[in-house]
Homo-oligomer: A and B are copies of this chain.
């Protein structure tokens, strides 16, 4: 591996021994709806605020992940989590509930990738036995914070995406026997090609996805065909087209390529414009589709590449462009 490699093959690959998910009503009505561990008809999860509802989703997702892993929370050596809310409060309050060593992350919608990557590097580096990686987003808390109060009924441009009301949690073990493994991770760089429209995140994040995927193929000597499924997310329709186009122009078209933002919802029927978004989107696709699919033998090797847009409403108002990031995770095996 060259000196400048961004990719870390894990010779002692951590095993994903448990995963869990929670989603709102729209997510339940989507194509992956029946695979959620927990859903809620009114998106409140019996809480008095959208923010606490988001925390509740993380708790439910982590609870299910621990149950599948047959572990107690207290057996976790690390909990790595983050979310979209200012100061990442959904994760902080979920971590308060879990009561285990906590490392807060901020990678916007790439957080499921960042948390799994870091958890894997920690465990494969010899630190601890069990780690959980977790994230969430909630349509109502995100809209209020990033855009306009829902009651305004603002129109959305065609490039907009729909923030998922969802949480996903994964429990990794350094010594598990059953389950998909994380066999390599690629840590992404911040990419910014000057897109300034916060209603067009797909275009803003696509260069980061392209850069990380290229780095991954370069570092590993693999090609897209070495994967049964390549998943970015959440680039949505436009971002997916941009990344596809970049690779086609390189003479290396992506095969088996999809995007988490295109999988969580029926794009036309559910009126989500360019697709799903939010930290919870790729977390939900990972925990309701990718990991079950690896366990069932539907896929043998998946490249899971969550993307994040590292903007804030303040940076947008100040005229800044939108930095993007993407981390890639190789998930393999797990069929029993």
Contact = CB atoms under 8 A, between A and B. Distances in A.
A51 B314 CA distance: 9
Given A125-B126, A323-B93, A187 B103 contact: yes
Task: Give the copy number.
Answer: 2
Interface stretch (A84-92, A250-258, A265-273): A84-92
Interface stretch (A175-183, A188-196, A233-241): A188-196
Given A125-B127, A312-B85, A318 B6 contact: no
Contacts of A105: 103-106
Nearest to A101: B187
Interface string A279-318: 0000000000000000000000000000000111111001
Interface in A74-96: 74, 77-78, 82, 84-89, 91-93, 95-96
Most chain B CB within a 10 A radius of its CB, from A105, A122, A323: A105
B323 A92 contact: yes
Contacts of A102: 187-190, 325
Contacts of A128: 8
A96 B323 contact: yes
A4 interface: yes
Given A85-B314, A86-B87, A89-B312, A189 B100 contact: yes
A94 B6 CA distance: 19
A302 B30 CA distance: 54
A241 to B, nearest CB: 24
A107 interface: yes
Interface of A: 4, 6, 8, 48-49, 51-52, 74, 77-78, 82, 84-89, 91-93, 95-96, 98-108, 114, 118, 121-122, 124-128, 145, 187-192, 310-315, 318, 320, 323, 325
Given A4-B74, A51-B314, A96-B323, 13 more contacts: A6-B101, A86-B87, A92-B310, A95-B189, A99-B189, A99-B190, A101-B187, A103-B105, A104-B108, A104-B310, A105-B105, A121-B127, A145-B314
15 contacts: A52-B318, A84-B87, A86-B312, A87-B106, A87-B312, A88-B310, A92-B311, A96-B190, A99-B190, A101-B187, A104-B107, A104-B114, A121-B127, A122-B122, A145-B314
